[in-house]
Structure 1
């Protein structure tokens, strides 16, 4: 079911049984944008028809590159007592193992929810993409206070839908599971007890969890202003400001592909020059050259030579590639990427000022996104600890600490920084043990011990 249609159905269900209208922060306009960003990420952009207009795969490339830069040197762990050890094992295997892939989904669609839950095997984490959950309200700090998750499957002629509503009220979270059965894609159908469906038989229809000041999930969103709805706290896609630019880039890419297709070498030849095969009643081309020769009718007099002409126009690839490359630079600028990320790095102007500004734009975006991801992961670990304590998997009150190391090499040119430190050592403004501690991962005491002995000078 389309995201916008599901939003209407969910809103109608909630308003039908509420004394006051539910103020849904996810507007139909934003829902349409999320659908568009999803289609672009899946190479199903509305302007791509695979005939006149092809896809240059720019949207997934942009999301993938930002996710790569954000998580390239990411290190995180949970430390503390016994509870921290248990949480850290689940954290590394269920979250960090595939974090880059899920961050890419969040970059593409504008948001990602990380929601832990308990199974017989322990803690699991569900990653819910922006087109599969419906945030209904936020508090003044931008934290979600009410949202709906949907799950849907088809069995035979029936479509089963589950709505999982999370609501934060004072110091408690209220979770409601509701199930519906329909025979078409246009409605949710009739409501049935959630326990009556085998897949959801172990779910509680209604539960209140006290002792928490936030919903039990982590919400990651791209740290860009929402240009489609300035009052909305929802995240936007990394390429949200470059939709029309990507559309034009796809057209220019298609023109390049057609240029190579339309200017292929061909020989126009009169049919009288071809040998006719009576068995197939067709004219035969020279072996393996069917693609090269194009037969035409030639109706001149008998004394004229049979017609043969070579079609070999000059390819305008340089001009077309220049236009396409300039379009990629516009996309890079609007997606906060450095020039040369998508465009040809050899064609990027090499002035020091332009290079510095371009890199700073990309570095700032990566750094801000890392901080947004860190905040979401901290909320996720909080939720994991809450559920683990609730089910007796870890002792209550056992403190833990979440640490993050993003590595400045993603934000700063490490080689340039290292050369600067060497210069400082040579000038005497930085001690050798400080340099060694910084670049060899040692403490100052270890670095001082590991320094080579000064060479003995013979008298």
Structure 2
């Protein structure tokens, strides 16, 4: 992290260093971006980037049909607006957290910024809860690269006989001609961050008490960090399966390499390929025969005109290789938290996931529940930080708010639900219009009108009976 020394000097603080986690973060970033250390084009080792698949699938299930509702006051309405503005980014935030082990979400006064571990420095934490952090923000203008370091922390100060912990935010800006260097200090007024203060006044509650937490939220993966037990950072969801991910890439590369090399080959004497009566070029045998040949035909020079013709049809070991790949997928998925057999490779459709998580697949269900709990904890902290900003800048009236998180059932199957609801209709337990609204896309008004039109009127029933008699 090339900005560490400048950050320590600018804010006169010691960053909490974890060389082991620095290595993990760099390795994770490379694996997630599709550039793992075992990738080797010269030896035909490619990557299918299954680490991305693991992170993406975890985030997809964790945020499946997510709904966040905030109620209780005008402050709640304002927080709901902030949520709605970034709603479709939540899944991406969770994926970054799964890929890097940690992601930090911080309000900036206008919206929410997201930081991966390679963009922050930890300065203080208490019982695995980060309370002090330096954030790196950048932008480019012309030939210049601008960087801003934003330092959040609590401080202990005496107020009479009592000790309070005001919260401070400090900003420093830098300018460089290289993206790999933070460069030299520059005044905030000469950057796009001109509205920010270099050092904020002490931030406290309206009653003078200390804030309940920092002005950012942290999402970490639920598994314990066995690489560095002292750090509050989490591990990528695939951290335990790096060796298997390497084996998977090798196995897949070998299989596709074999398929690519499996083209039929015909070896034929050049005299077999020459038209009848065409003389053979003694100086350059096969010169006449090698013109305009199919690419699978190889011209050879045999002992006699009819002495050599051979077809080579390589036999593929695809079925055996797929079994090996599926064994690796099962092991990788299990180490990442999924149930055995969740990930499957099919020869026809490629890499797929199970179409439905069965009710007895408790491991996957519990794993996703743990991820959702971490997301709720993070978002609760984000809402608190937003509320503090609202107080500081008068964005909305003060007031209580209650956050409700509603997640989709990962065992849900739409066709089963459709059949169940139709049985409810047939049994008279729910009106038919509700079925058409829920499963056929009708508006409530149109569905009710359609059902009413299709229902025989009482007079029509009597008329029909009279006619039959």
Which TM class, normalised by the smaller chain length? 0.7 to 0.9
- Provide the residue aligned with 1:36 in structure 2: 27
User: What residue number does 2:315 align with?
Assistant: 314
Deviation at 1:274, TM superposition (A): 4.9
Any residues of structure 2 matched to 1:144-293 within 5 Å, and which?
144-155=130-141, 157-170=143-156, 171-184=165-178, 187-197=181-191, 199-208=192-201, 209-211=203-205, 212-274=211-273, 283-286=290-293, 289-290=294-295, 292-293=296-297
Matched, 1:107 2:106: no
Structure 1 residues 404 and 163, CA, compared in 2 at 3 Å: closer, same or farther?
same
- Give yes or no for contact 1:285–1:293 (8 Å, CA) kept in 2: no
For residues 45-444 of structure 1, the aligned pairs below 5 Å read 45-51=36-42, 52-94=44-86, 96-118=87-109, 123-140=110-127, 142-155=128-141, 157-170=143-156, 171-184=165-178, 187-197=181-191, 199-208=192-201, 209-211=203-205, 212-274=211-273, 283-286=290-293, 289-290=294-295, 292-295=296-299, 297-300=300-303, 303-305=304-306, 307-344=308-345, 359-396=361-398, 398-407=399-408, 409-410=409-410
Deviation per residue, 1:260-297 (Å, 9 max, x gap):
11222121233445569xxx9993234xx32x2233x4
TM-score (norm 2): 0.75
Distance 1:304 1:271 in 2: 8
Deviation digits for residues 235-277 of structure 1, max 9, x if unmatched?
A: 110001111110111001111111111222121233445569x
Higher deviation after alignment, 104-113 or 183-192: 183-192
Q: Could you list the runs of 5+ residues in structure 2 that have no partner in the other structure?
A: 157-164, 206-210, 276-286, 348-356, 420-428, 431-436, 439-469
Give the drift of 1:54: 1.1
Instruction: Evaluate the alpha carbon distance shift between residue 414 and residue 182 of structure 1 in structure 2; reply closer, same or farther with a 3 A threshold.
Output: closer
Which has the higher Rg, Structure 1 or Structure 2? 2
2:325 match: secondary structure = helix
Deviations 1:196-232 (A, max 9, x none): 23x2222211113223232111111111111211222
Aligned partners of 2:269, 2:346: CA distance in 1, in Å? 48
- Listed as ranges, the gaps of 5+ residues in structure 1 are 347-354, 420-431, 434-439, 442-459
**Cα deviation, residue 99, structure 1:** 1.2
Q: Secondary structure at the match of 2:342?
A: coil
Aligned length: 390
Moved over 6 A (4+): 355-358, 411-419
Displacement of 1:78 after TM fit? 0.7
Distance 1:414 1:327 in 2: 31
- In structure 2, C-alpha distance between the alignment counterparts of 1:417 and 1:364, rounded to whole Å: 22
Deviations 1:118-176 (A, max 9, x none): 2xxxx311122233222232112x22111111123445554332211111225322111
Q: 1:159 to 1:73 in 2, by over 3 A?
A: closer
Aligned to 1:436: none
RMSD (Å) for aligned C-alpha atoms: 3.3
Whole-angstrom CA distance in 2 between matches of 1:14 and 1:160: 15
